[in-house]
Amino acid sequence: MTIETKERYRLFIDGEFVAASTGESSTTTDPATGDSIAQFAAATSTDVDRAVEAARDSLSGWQAKSPVERGRIIHQVADVLRDHAEDLARIESLDQGKPLSQARSDVDDAVRYFEYYAGVADKLEGKSVPRGAETLDMTTREPYGVSGQIVPWNFPLSIAARGVAPALVAGNTVVVKPAPTTPLSALHFAELCREAGVPDGVVNVVTGGAEPGAALSSHDDIDQLTFTGSVPTGEAVMKSAAETITPVTLELGGKNPAIVMPDADLDEAAFWVATGIFTNAGQICSAADRALVHESIYDEFVDRLVDRAESYAIGSGTEDPDMGPLNHDDHFETVLEYIDTGVTEGATLETGGEPLDRDGYFLPPTVFTDVEPEMRIAQEEIFGPVLTVIPFSDREEAIDIANDVEYGLTGGVFSRDIKQALRLARDIDAGSVYVNEWFGGSIETPFGGMKQSGIGREKGLEALESYLQTKNISVNLDEKPR
């Protein structure tokens, strides 16, 4: 059965689509044209209450399933998603704006999260603690309960899957709140979970903006929160979670350095840096935002980067160009303001910077040179296809510049000298470092930020730590009378 976009979407609560309590709706638009794609329900705190209640009520049934059975259902989700991969990719590309082949890759990631965690279901073991002959001491790993998951608009489906798959395998149930400019794939995903045999209430989706997000993060019946988004919203989520002592995983922004040493393969490095900053129109937390380039190869490297930037074919995501539009109008304006800021700050605009003369939110790959590390365009996350190139004279200076930002999400090193590359990788303050590539890592590898880039890790086995709590059980074996 083909999945098509609908004209109207409702909330997905307790296994069915239901209207929002106020009956109000919002519009999601095609970023390539600005035209409406669909209306979706605007959830209020009352709707969040209903979703949390459904998730709470379904907990005991979900936890009563044997781990093997839970693993099989989760594997079945992977299979059902794969069966509908092309339709989901088309919907994601239309709603988010990303090129179709990038949306296909996101759907593939979503499938992989469910495949990967399905196999873990029957391996969530505790341990025994040696305390002497008279005591048996063991730990068990238990789910938190209801997990609230707040998702941004840059990878709507794959980030939802990244959090939901490990949460479910650990025995939690979830309420997902997608971003208001990209709500569609999460709603189709929830429906496919039901088709795959996920019991009603285990996966719920409430759509809308800050209101349902805030209602979820302050809800006193949520047991764990996973937030992916910007630093200011992450701060707000953490503050409201503090009111109920709810544990949070925060996956926030980045301003990631790519250090290019003089001995690097410059063609390769230019390819990876361009890929790192222009994929998904730069709307990636782990993007290669800042190229730190040794002064001896600076001009040569900039020429290669500019050639690459100018070769990008730009168009509507669904036509599968190299780069699509930015996701929505406000964000488009923000990125254009950063370009003005860069010019005002005295950086040189080598290429790009001018929006395309057509409908939609199109900005070509943009490269700033002569960037000083303290400029705002070198410090703040722009979240667009805007690369800042900064020269350095030696390794120490490169590390100083790399680490002199409030973020610490990813970083990269380009060098043929492995010792030098590993020393730099050691010294970069970031949760992930790529050597002679960008966007290294995968479903199986832990991902998350240092400093203001976040708390906790997603992906890999480490993500399970966010969804399990440890109980210690101590048993007295002593038969001596007291």
For ligand NAD, the binding residues (CB under 6 A) are: 150-155, 177, 179-180, 209-210, 213-214, 217, 228-230, 233, 236-237, 251-254, 285, 381, 383, 409, 449, 454
Smallest gap from Cβ 353 to ligand NAD, in A, equals 21
State which residue, 230 or 379, has the beta carbon closest to ligand NAD. Answer: 230
Smallest gap from Cβ 418 to ligand NAD, in A, equals 28
CA-closest candidate to residue 115, choices 147, 88, 80: 80
Smallest gap from Cβ 212 to ligand NAD, in A, equals 8
- For residue 230, give the amino acid letter: S
Smallest gap from Cβ 267 to ligand NAD, in A, equals 28
d(CA 284, CA 382) in angstroms, rounded, equals 10
251 is catalytic: yes
CA distances from 195 to 129, 185, 200, 276, 342 (A): 42, 15, 10, 36, 50
d(CA 243, CA 217) in angstroms, rounded, equals 10
Catalytic residue among 251, 350, 381, 458: 251
Smallest gap from Cβ 121 to ligand NAD, in A, equals 24
Smallest gap from Cβ 119 to ligand NAD, in A, equals 23
Q: What is the dihedral of CA 42, 47, 48, 50, to 10 degrees?
A: -150
State which residue, 155 or 368, has the beta carbon closest to ligand NAD. Answer: 155
For the chain, the first-to-last Cα distance in angstroms comes to 70
d(CA 304, CA 401) in angstroms, rounded, equals 22
d(CA 289, CA 391) in angstroms, rounded, equals 14
Do 42 and 59 contact (CB within 8 A), yes or no?
no
- For residue 349, give the amino acid letter: L
Q: What are phi and psi of 323, to 5 degrees?
A: -145, 140
CA-closest candidate to residue 10, choices 204, 278, 231, 238: 204
Do 288 and 381 contact (CB within 8 A), yes or no?
no
Smallest gap from Cβ 415 to ligand NAD, in A, equals 26
CA-closest candidate to residue 259, choices 100, 435, 140: 435
Encoded tokens for 76: 């079945």
Which residue of the chain is nearest ligand NAD when measured via CB? 213
State which residue, 153 or 278, has the beta carbon closest to ligand NAD. Answer: 153
DSSP label of 105: H
Query: How does strand 290-294 pair with strand 257-260?
Result: parallel
Positive or negative, the Cα torsion across 113, 119, 121, 124? negative
State which residue, 93 or 226, has the beta carbon closest to ligand NAD. Answer: 226
Q: What are phi and psi of 71, to 5 degrees?
A: -60, -40
State which residue, 76 or 154, has the beta carbon closest to ligand NAD. Answer: 154
State which residue, 76 or 283, has the beta carbon closest to ligand NAD. Answer: 283
State which residue, 146 or 285, has the beta carbon closest to ligand NAD. Answer: 285
Active site residues: 251
